[in-house]
Amino acid sequence: ENLGKSDLCVSKVCLGTMQFGEGLSMEEGYAQMNYAYERGVNFFDSAEMYPVPQNEKSHGRSEACLGRWMKNSGHPRDRIHVATKVTGPSGQMTWIRNGPPVLDAAAITAAAEDSLLRLDTDYIDLLQLHWPDRYVPMFGDVDFDSTCDYGAAIPIEEQLEALSTLVAQGKVREVGLSNETPWGLMRFCQLAASGSLPRVASIQNAYHLLNRTFDSTLAEVCHREDVSLLAYSPLAMGHLTGKYLDNAGGPANARLNVYKGQYAEIESRYSFERPNLMSAVKEYMAAAT
């Protein structure tokens, strides 16, 4: 079906590549993409900061893995729809544009150009802003705290204008958001409606049985503005498989055990020490069996 009001027609399932080049080898990534494509999946999502846990040594491998697979698969490029993301402000990932300190026009343009090189393609089907430039509660936080506002943010107009230039140049087909709020999504939609700036086709936010904030916050906006949801972490980082319920805390080779202590933003969302999380998983598992 089409993403939002765009002409981008994608499969219902999108395969994420967040682990390609770190938790999964490049060869395992190729195998997963082959398996998905053979079963009708034509939509693949990556990000310039992937794989995670992010580090300088592995930076960019996920996009490179996707790019090599596309080039070597023999599948027509127009049969594969590629999504990737521009990293938002972060003082931790110094290997990406020295931070990056802001999500301004220069950062968006540089990110797109670098992603095109790693993906070894002439265009990106869906370019998303990975998280906002301004303060918003995300990655485990729920409530907005006005005292956390960290100063003037890059205007959304500037971000949309940079994306518009990339679209006009033929380097990007559609634009999207990620980890965005109702206010942010509406602001992007309003600006697009008031001029010639590109319309947001999709929003990629967490959505699963342990996190349904989308239902009470963004669902109406997406419905009325015709913006598609790309739901990430549908199994809550593996929790909803039940594999972490045993007394040992799950298999030693499970992702949250292999990278324990390196996954701060993930562990804050899905901490084993949150009794309500584990009890909810137990009840879901009981209902499923």
Domain count of the fold of the chain: 2
Which of 197, 219, 234 lies at the terminal end of a domain, its last residue? 234
Active site residues: 50
Closest CA to 47 of 77, 16, 78: 16
The two most distant CA atoms of the chain are separated, in Å, by 57
**Banded pLDDT at 139 (limits 50, 70, 90):** low
Please report whether residue 3 resides in a domain: no
Candidate from 40-54, 124-138, 163-177, 225-239 with smallest mean pLDDT: 124-138
Asked if 45 and 84 count as a contact pair (C-beta separation under 8 A), the reply is yes
Task: Compute the average pLDDT of residues 210-226.
Answer: 96
Asked if residue 41 and residue 19 are part of one domain, the reply reads yes
Asked if residue 274 and residue 188 are part of one domain, the reply reads no
Q: What is the mean pLDDT of the chain?
A: 93
Asked if 154 and 189 count as a contact pair (C-beta separation under 8 A), the reply is no
Task: Compute the average pLDDT of residues 256-264.
Answer: 81
Asked if residue 259 and residue 124 are part of one domain, the reply reads no
Which two structure tokens, joined as six digits, stand for 161? 């204008």
Which of 188, 214, 234 lies at the terminal end of a domain, its last residue? 234
Asked if residue 128 and residue 192 are part of one domain, the reply reads yes
Closest CA to 60 of 3, 118, 109, 9: 118
Q: At 176, phi and psi to the nearest 5?
A: -145, 175
Please report whether residue 2 resides in a domain: no
- Helix (H/G/I), strand (E/B), else coil: 35: helix
Closest CA to 89 of 174, 172, 151, 173: 151
Beta bridge partners of 163: none
Which two structure tokens, joined as six digits, stand for 221? 């906006």
Asked if residue 278 and residue 193 are part of one domain, the reply reads no
Asked if 24 and 50 count as a contact pair (C-beta separation under 8 A), the reply is no
Closest CA to 266 of 237, 246, 243, 245: 237
Asked if residue 196 and residue 284 are part of one domain, the reply reads no
> What are the Cα distances from residue 253, in Å, to 222, 234, 264?
38, 20, 18
Provide the CATH number for the domain around residue 172: 3.20.20.100
Whether the model clears a pTM of 0.85, i.e. scores above it, the answer is yes
Please report whether residue 266 resides in a domain: yes
Which of 201, 219, 234 lies at the terminal end of a domain, its last residue? 234
Asked if residue 18 and residue 138 are part of one domain, the reply reads yes
Please report whether residue 5 resides in a domain: no
Domain that holds residue 271: 238-289
Asked if residue 158 and residue 102 are part of one domain, the reply reads yes
pLDDT tens digits along 65-121: 999 999 999 999 999 999 999 999 988 899 999 888 999 999 999 999 999 999 999
Asked if residue 221 and residue 84 are part of one domain, the reply reads yes
Please report whether residue 7 resides in a domain: no
Asked if residue 278 and residue 198 are part of one domain, the reply reads no
The whole-angstrom separation of Cα 241 and Cα 123 is 36
Please report whether residue 6 resides in a domain: no
Asked if residue 170 and residue 252 are part of one domain, the reply reads no
Asked if 116 and 242 count as a contact pair (C-beta separation under 8 A), the reply is no
Asked if residue 166 and residue 45 are part of one domain, the reply reads yes
Sign of the torsion formed by the C-alpha atoms of 253, 36, 1 and 109 = positive
| Cis? peptide before 234, omega within 30° of 0 | no
pLDDT tens digits along 147-160: 777 666 899 999 99
Please report whether residue 70 resides in a domain: yes
